[in-house]
Amino acid sequence: MSPLEQAILAFDRSLRVFALPARATRPYPAESVPDVEMSDASRKTSGGLMRVNHTGEVCAQALYQSQALFAKGSDTRLALDHAAQEEWDHLAWCAQRLKELGDRPSFLNPLWYAGSFLMGAASALAGDQWNMAFLVETERQVESHLDSHMSSLPTEDLRSRAIVETMQKEEAAHADMAESRGAAVMPAPLKLAMQATAKLMTSSAYWV
């Protein structure tokens, strides 16, 4: 694709994330899970945590899009596109749960989207083994972050839990996929920088 075609595709995909309500292609994991009565405090906690997860999935869209767009090999691009489709469902599920909780997405999403897009592009341009290394580290961090949410979500919020559990399994599979595609070993300072960025995202999205 020419740079212009790439730019148009990137713009079109960002419109899909922000301008239209995300529609999942697979069943909602909370579909048959009872929506139990929750206190205002619990609902607020769940709303904050699911807002963080929603922002994480907005970032995932940006990352996967730029990582696929600038991937060196066509097979790498295909693998990224496949995982991105699952991430699209995650985005739709988080949006749906936020709505059910009477809450809203983060106001900072466009900022995180832009930042993630640039980070994904940089890792892809460094070559496929670094593209995969970045993916492994991102997904492993998301996996452990979702694990912490299984402890912090109110116990009665069975619907959010069902969504987080499904996402966690799929994030782990995305990391495994990237590892099996010859991911380089990410240097420790880069891992720390990614952790610090993720911390900034999760703590701000909970409130804003």
- Residues near Fe ion (CB under 5 A) are 60, 87, 90, 139, 171, 174
In terms of CB distance, is 43 or 79 closer to Fe ion?
A: 79
In terms of CB distance, is 46 or 166 closer to Fe ion?
A: 166
In terms of CB distance, is 157 or 171 closer to Fe ion?
A: 171
Q: How far is the CB of 101 from Fe ion (least distance, A)?
A: 19
Q: How far is the CB of 171 from Fe ion (least distance, A)?
A: 4
In terms of CB distance, is 47 or 56 closer to Fe ion?
A: 56
Q: How far is the CB of 40 from Fe ion (least distance, A)?
A: 28
Q: How far is the CB of 134 from Fe ion (least distance, A)?
A: 12
Can you give the three-state secondary structure of the chain, one letter per residue? CCHHHHHHHHHHHHHHHHCCCCCCCCCCCCCCCCCCCCCHHHHHHHHHHHHHHHHHHHHHHHHHHHHHHCCCCHHHHHHHHHHHHHHHHHHHHHHHHHHHCCCCCCCCHHHHHHHHHHHHHHHHHCCHHHHHHHHHHHHHHHHHHHHHHHHHCCCCCHHHHHHHHHHHHHHHHHHHHHHHCCCCCCCHHHHHHHHHHHHHHHHHHHHC
